[in-house]
Amino acid sequence: MRYAIEIRVLNPRSHIADRRSRSRSTGNPFRMLLLAFSFLLVACGSTPPPQSPGYNSTNDKRQKKSAPYEVHGKRYYPLSTSAGFVQRGLASWYGRKFHGRLTANGERYNMYGRTAAHKTLPFNTYVRVTNLSNGRKTVVRVNDRGPFVRGRIIDLTLTAANELVMADDGVVPVKIEALGYVKKKRKAGKWVREYVKPDSYQLGDFTIQVGAFAERENAMRLHASLSRRYRDTTVQIFDRGDQRFYRVRVGRYSHLDQAEAGAERLQKKGFPNAFAVARDR
């Protein structure tokens, strides 16, 4: 389980998390040796690397919720819906140094596009950003995680920063409003964008994933331990194509909030990687 914690910390490929982790690891032989050893443990161990939480289709109505993640010792829980989301705080921007790097949802960062990093909004949420210093506005799409700096709520591309006239200032106070997902509609012979509010995904069929293992024996040991204390403990097989994994899951919930509360309780009881997921149909 401890190795899985290390993997999850590295899961959000944020520009800021990447920058800080790189600066801490450079030039430290002991840290490099420890890192190499941890990769060896992962390769030989029982916990698979997590899949990217990304979801790349901007034309699909369903805004997929990514799994919880941890950065600099703090755990973040991405929202299940962006409906009604409004927030005030500081905006910053990131540019050439990160141009072409992978964002948290697996896309390539384009400093000339109109995208943004936010800590918890669902990927592909379109957000209206208003510069409270001058009233200028722009609309961006969330495709990255961050910024992980106190007080900052959104990181923008250079293009978006220029539209807000904030590129020279660097950091400005803003208000952000979630618009929803984009649906293209033909109007007067032309294709136009239409912002549609997302559905709520609070109601459904949910469970809690406690661990995932490449070795069936390890999954069965955890299953045996959990089944003595919790109901509805199961082991589900996931075939990735190149490797098979065994997912250990606990409980059954009809409301997402209940499942997430149950996951938090399990985290406090020694299962830090527990998180709520939709039950497989």
Domain parsing of the chain, residue ranges: 2-44, 69-196, 203-278
- Mean per-residue pLDDT for 58-81? 70
Give tens-digit pLDDT for 56-66.
333 333 444 56
Is the pLDDT at 159 greater than 50, yes or no? yes
| pLDDT for 188 beyond 90 | no
Query: Can you give the pLDDT at residue 53?
Result: 33
Confidence of residue 198 (pLDDT cuts 50, 70, 90): low
| Percentage of residues in the chain having pLDDT higher than 90 | 40
Q: Flag whether pLDDT at 127 surpasses 70.
A: yes
**pLDDT of the residue at 200:** 54
Residue 4 has pLDDT above 70, yes or no: no
Q: Which CATH architecture has domain 69-196?
A: Beta Barrel (2.40)
The whole-number pLDDT of residue 65 equals 54
Residue 229 or 203, more confident = 229
List pLDDT tens digits, range 250-280.
998 887 778 888 989 999 999 988 888 877 6
Q: Do domains 69-196 and 203-278 have the same CATH topology?
A: no
Backbone angles phi, psi at 134, to 5 degrees: -135, 0
pLDDT tops 90 at residue 136: yes
Residue with more model confidence, 248 or 48: 248
For domain 203-278, give its CATH number from 3.30.1310.10, 3.30.70.1070, 1.10.275.30, 3.40.710.10: 3.30.70.1070
Look at residue 19 in the predicted model and tell me its pLDDT: 38
